[in-house]
Structure 1
């Protein structure tokens, strides 16, 4: 189209709207493109210049409608660009430049995804339709603009109402959030007060437990110390009575004296265990670290415990350790292993009792395995409680006090390791002592 006079501003606006409608633009985009084109035409005609308007459909990856205005503007692009500041808001791209024939204004707007495909046949139809287009009068265009303005105002009003509704909903949501936040803050504050009170109560209970533990340890130590002297005296007197150099006793008298001596021996063992346990609980046992020769230690255990394993039904085996030596306290380590071996021998009717040692990662594991009566899984931790004995378990030799395993576990803890048990009723037990192979 060629623009020359003011009347052409209305015509080019109508033509721009018709082209936009024909290529499938939505009504709002049609209005935007027509308004942008009429504004460019107004600037051109106001300068007293003629111009050519060209409509092009670009069918690239993003289909667009491009409108180019060729105009020999006197001041060129530098003077024309400031007058088109608002046009760029109506289209996707706006370019103003100086070409060989004069000033060139190029604007484009994307086609919607719902627009029909612009095939050559469709383009021919659009050209034919536009050729038959009869421009309306300025009054017709003004009426159309008024209708578009009314539609735009209705849309703005609807958007404003939606925005007001959304603001009201947001305000209501904010009030709900604040109420929830205040409620959660109050609940958290209440919970914090409860936690603080609970910690205070736990601290108080811990202090009471510590004092009770200290009192128990002092009681055990004092009672054990006070009992050792009279019990030792009873054992000494029983030996004197049974001494061949003393006046001979009758058969029944000798049996009674042996019973007294045996009971006093059991009581002395219990007293010694209580004293050892009290020392361990009070932290009075300090290990004396040295390099322990495990082969020599195992040989000593083999010799001292062999007299206890006298039943032919039970094989007593002390294997050669695969680890020659390790840093530890020889006395405490020997006491732990002797305790575990003695227990195994007491509760094994037939089969074997076996001691072994091997390296595991950076540690050394000592295992005492027996084929005795076994321990139910639910009692694996209870056997390490003081004075607890497995129900219906009966020692084959000697009597148990229920203090050996708790004492052994405390000694292992003092040596920096752990003691665990794996056992099944009727299939024996395996006690494992794991100690670090080196001191870090």
Structure 2
């Protein structure tokens, strides 16, 4: 052989049916010798038999077998004709289903069809395989119909055996697939049941959580109401205890001995401590119940800090701790609720003093470096510090950091939570940083608020059956009115309002005869006074105020907390959508 890339093996001329038989036999024999498997041999022989019969009747039909090495070893068969009709499309499609690498070309009456069947031959054995094929086949071999039928019968038997083997394999695969499907279905059913049970559990848990949440909410509301009511009830006897203790302490020397005076002093100190605790509880309860709202007014920070220093410095537990306050000339202007701010700063400073054994506690006031329109109050100490795992908990009510360094430190765990509540109500934020053994820094940032315009009304009428409170209250009224008329009871107030048409009316609720509720009802029912602004100032706790009967009043203020600023806001111009102030002096429609 002269070319190891394409070696001619055999050329067969096809002129009649006998040649087609020979073509089929040779195709099978050549494919087997070339290394094709039985299925590929049958496919190639069947495809050439189909194409040979299609070409019967054409002139110059030849079939050429060649063994090619590149691009990969393959048996290449070329069917040519020199004169004849184009191939039948159905014959081409049948051959293409058997041999995928098939191409055809037709030019006029002549044409060719090329079939390529890959074979398993190593490149180094290609020349030897071509020689064997050339020796195996001779041009004078013949075949007849019987030989072809026998050959086809053998091919069919082989194909049937292979088909039977494949059928058995498919049966086994189907059985395995059915078992697998049965397992999948069982697993799916099991998973579905588990999911259903889990979903039922989740629904039940969700319902239980909602119920628990409702119970916790109701318990919190009940706790808040309890502390508010109990704190009010405790204040009166505690004030009596403290007052009587002071009276006893002021007795003549011959009336009490030294031991009795010491005991009275202890009673008074204990009563004041208990009163402070009750006040803390009441303030926290009010904050939780939403009964505290800021009453912003211009604050003289220098005076405020001087007052705080005057109260805190003498009560400092350790004289070795230096208490540092800012210079008055360096303080920025501020408009906020002075009472709330005072409580915040006293809580923060008192807390620092309690846990500082040496060094200092410093209060500083500055413009917030990264927030425009904010003022920061910074309380920094050199105390024992707070462990990192406890820093997030110190703002929880009643929580106290555990440790030997806190033994003997009195407290309820309400200071920092209460300070945070007040700072939040004032529209600010509070942050804490601490290092154990190095100290703690708390920063309370508050917004700068524009001061409200002062209110001056031509005439304000007021009624209160308590002469002492009326005397104390009159200067507040005079800050908001050019003329103030105070009347002894509700009946006189209604008559005066109808007759004189004052700019506003201020009335107490608890009065003999015509009480405040009746005054409000009569004024609202009379067209001559229905538009007159009414403000209620009462000693009742918020829980005892019947808000449904006070739907027409501007505000309900507490005698304990009312001041000129709160009164001015209540009697000032009404903004759209604004609500009346509650009995605590602090928010909510009555």
For Structure 1 versus Structure 2, the TM-score category normalised by the shorter chain is: 0.7 to 0.9
Give aligned pairs, total.
429
Given that 2:428 and 2:447 are in contact with CA atoms closer than 8 Å, whether structure 1 keeps it comes out as no
For 2:94, the equivalent position in structure 1 comes to 86
Pair 1:313–1:130, CA change in 2 (3 A): farther
Pair 1:360–1:94, CA change in 2 (3 A): same
Given that 1:44 and 1:50 are in contact with CA atoms closer than 8 Å, whether structure 2 keeps it comes out as no
For 1:352, the equivalent position in structure 2 comes to 360
Does 2:292 match 1:285?
Answer: yes
Find the aligned partners of 2:433 and 2:266 in 1 and give their Cα distance: 35
For 1:53, the equivalent position in structure 2 comes to 63
Pair 1:343–1:142, CA change in 2 (3 A): same
Does 2:233 match 1:222?
Answer: no
- The one-character-per-residue Cα deviations of 1:180-232 (angstroms, maximum 9, x if unpaired) are 22222222222222222222222222222222222211111111111212222
Find the aligned partners of 1:126 and 1:292 in 2 and give their Cα distance: 116
Does 2:21 match 1:10?
Answer: yes
1:203 to 198, 203, 210: 210
Find the aligned partners of 1:42 and 1:290 in 2 and give their Cα distance: 113
Does 2:410 match 1:402?
Answer: no
Find the aligned partners of 2:98 and 2:297 in 1 and give their Cα distance: 91
Pair 1:387–1:84, CA change in 2 (3 A): closer
Pair 1:22–1:373, CA change in 2 (3 A): same
Does 2:347 match 1:339?
Answer: yes
| TM-score with structure 2 setting the length | 0.61
For 1:146, the equivalent position in structure 2 comes to 153
Given that 2:69 and 2:123 are in contact with CA atoms closer than 8 Å, whether structure 1 keeps it comes out as no
- The one-character-per-residue Cα deviations of 1:359-391 (angstroms, maximum 9, x if unpaired) are 569999876443334455665566555444435
Moved more, 407-416 or 204-213: 407-416
- The one-character-per-residue Cα deviations of 1:8-36 (angstroms, maximum 9, x if unpaired) are 21222233233333443323212211211
Pair 1:178–1:381, CA change in 2 (3 A): same
1:179-328 aligned within 5 A:
179-243=186-250, 249-287=256-294, 305-309=312-316, 311=318, 313-317=320-324
Given that 1:339 and 1:408 are in contact with CA atoms closer than 8 Å, whether structure 2 keeps it comes out as yes
For 1:70, the equivalent position in structure 2 comes to 80
1:117 to 103, 117, 123: 123
Given that 2:359 and 2:382 are in contact with CA atoms closer than 8 Å, whether structure 1 keeps it comes out as yes
Q: CA deviation at 1:116?
A: 1.7
For 2:551, the equivalent position in structure 1 comes to none
Q: CA deviation at 1:404?
A: 1.4
For 2:172, the equivalent position in structure 1 comes to 165
Q: CA deviation at 1:99?
A: 2.6
1:38 to 49, 57, 61: 49
CA RMSD of aligned residues (A): 4.1
Find the aligned partners of 1:175 and 1:291 in 2 and give their Cα distance: 82
Pair 1:210–1:310, CA change in 2 (3 A): closer
Pair 1:208–1:232, CA change in 2 (3 A): same
| TM-score with structure 1 setting the length | 0.80
- The one-character-per-residue Cα deviations of 1:346-365 (angstroms, maximum 9, x if unpaired) are 12111233456765699998
Find the aligned partners of 1:226 and 1:324 in 2 and give their Cα distance: 41
For 1:99, the equivalent position in structure 2 comes to 107
Find the aligned partners of 2:182 and 2:444 in 1 and give their Cα distance: 61
3-state SS in 2 of match to 1:342: helix
Pair 1:305–1:145, CA change in 2 (3 A): farther
Find the aligned partners of 2:334 and 2:19 in 1 and give their Cα distance: 107
Find the aligned partners of 1:153 and 1:327 in 2 and give their Cα distance: 103
3-state SS in 2 of match to 1:67: strand
Pair 1:68–1:408, CA change in 2 (3 A): same
3-state SS in 2 of match to 1:194: helix
For 1:430, the equivalent position in structure 2 comes to 440
Find the aligned partners of 2:446 and 2:64 in 1 and give their Cα distance: 90
Q: CA deviation at 1:269?
A: 0.4
Given that 2:363 and 2:377 are in contact with CA atoms closer than 8 Å, whether structure 1 keeps it comes out as yes
Given that 1:347 and 1:394 are in contact with CA atoms closer than 8 Å, whether structure 2 keeps it comes out as no
Tell me which of the two structures has the higher relative contact order, counting C-alpha pairs closer than 8 angstroms and 6 or more residues apart: 1
